Amino acid sequence: MDRATVEPRIRSIIEPFNKKEVAIADATTFAGDLEFDSLTVMDFVAAIEDEFDIIISMNQQAEIESYGQLVDAVTKMVAE
Fold of 3-79: 1.10.1200
User: What's the pLDDT at 16?
Assistant: 96
**Domain layout of the chain by residue ranges:** 3-79
Q: Where are the alpha helices (DSSP H) in the chain?
A: 3-14, 38-52, 58-63, 67-79
How confident is the model at residue 51, as a pLDDT?
97
Instruction: Determine the Cα–Cα distance for residues 32 and 46; give it in Å rounded to an integer.
Output: 20
Model pLDDT for residues 36-52, shown as the tens digit of each residue = 999 999 999 999 999 99
Question: Which residues does the chain have with pLDDT short of 70?
Answer: none
